[in-house]
Amino acid sequence: TRLLAGSGGTAMGFPSEWGGLDMVGGAVAAFETLGHSDLSLLVKCGVQFGLFGGAVLHLGTRKHHERYLKRVASLELLGCFAMSEGAHGSNVQRVRTTATYDAEAGEFVVHTPAEEDCKDYIGNAARDGRIAVVFAQLVVGGESRGVHALLVPLRDDAGDVVEGVRIEDDGPKIGLNGVDNGRIWFDSVRVGRDALLDRYGEVTEGGEYRSDIENRDRRFFTMLGTLIQGRVSVGGASISATKSALTIAVRPALRRRT
């Protein structure tokens, strides 16, 4: 991954203003090509540059772009996309992790309410990730505002897990042991107000929640719609992996007499 970052290829999908190459199509094609070789590398790149970097790009605003995108593209800042949880099934709108705004302190309190509500199978979490885009139920002024994404630190510059965060490795994955999936629990972890990726919903200095999309369901699906590039990329890479697998299977079949 570091060799790819050194070549500049990992910056393809990001805007040139933030150190990218403005080549979204090229980024998708590059991801498809990785599907022909190392699938662990494919997943690591997808998590770092597609999911984590894509969430910062599409769900954040200028302050987040200035602070993070160049570091994400260069691999200086390793991150995670913490959406899935152990207990929520496939219903992302019902994740149980909470981010409650403390207006007096000007901070969000990120918390895992129960053991089974941990973020689970989160790429880059078990070993490398220093910060995560965490999807949580946003609570402002005592009222639930639906699922939003926040940037929450996992490890310090020395690589040590920060206070209030607990991480476990998900263990071996057949054929994908280069992927450090992990489980994450948050014990009332505090992050600043600017940690909220606030393109579609913000909390003002006065502690007021604002969004141009009033309907909570519509706001949620608009947020997810910005991440569609990753879904397209996975489909393309799956086709590439299938082509390689078929070639590997057919070649010995042609040589073998029965």
The whole-angstrom separation of Cα 126 and Cα 44 is 12
- For residue 178, what pLDDT is reported? 87
Please indicate whether residue 90 or residue 61 has the higher confidence score (pLDDT): 61
Q: 59 near 230, Cβ under 8 Å?
A: no
Distances (CA, A) of 149 to 55, 96, 134, 224, 231: 8, 13, 5, 11, 18
- For residue 8, what pLDDT is reported? 62
101, 106, 107, 59: which is closest to 79 by C-alpha?
59
At 7, is the pLDDT very low, low, confident or very high (cuts 50, 70, 90)? low
Q: 186 near 150, Cβ under 8 Å?
A: no
Q: Over the stretch 190-208, which tens digit does the pLDDT of each residue have?
A: 999 999 999 999 999 999 9
Could you tell me what percentage of the chain is helix, strand and coil, using 3-state DSSP and rounding each to the nearest 5? 40, 25, 35
95 — alpha (psi -120 to 50), left (phi > 0) or beta? beta
At 6, is the pLDDT very low, low, confident or very high (cuts 50, 70, 90)? low
Q: Over the stretch 129-164, which tens digit does the pLDDT of each residue have?
A: 999 999 999 999 999 999 999 999 999 999 999 999
Please indicate whether residue 102 or residue 88 has the higher confidence score (pLDDT): 102
Q: Is the pLDDT of residue 76 over 80?
A: yes
Q: 60 near 199, Cβ under 8 Å?
A: yes
At 28, is the pLDDT very low, low, confident or very high (cuts 50, 70, 90)? confident
Lowest mean pLDDT among 87-96, 157-166, 208-217: 87-96
Q: Is the pLDDT of residue 97 over 80?
A: yes
Other CB atoms within a 10 A radius of the CB of residue 11 amount to 26
pTM of the prediction? Answer: 0.89
The whole-angstrom separation of Cα 110 and Cα 133 is 12
Q: Is the pLDDT of residue 118 over 90?
A: yes
Q: What is the average pLDDT value for the chain, to the nearest integer?
A: 89
- For residue 242, what pLDDT is reported? 93
The mean per-residue pLDDT over the stretch 217-244 comes to: 86
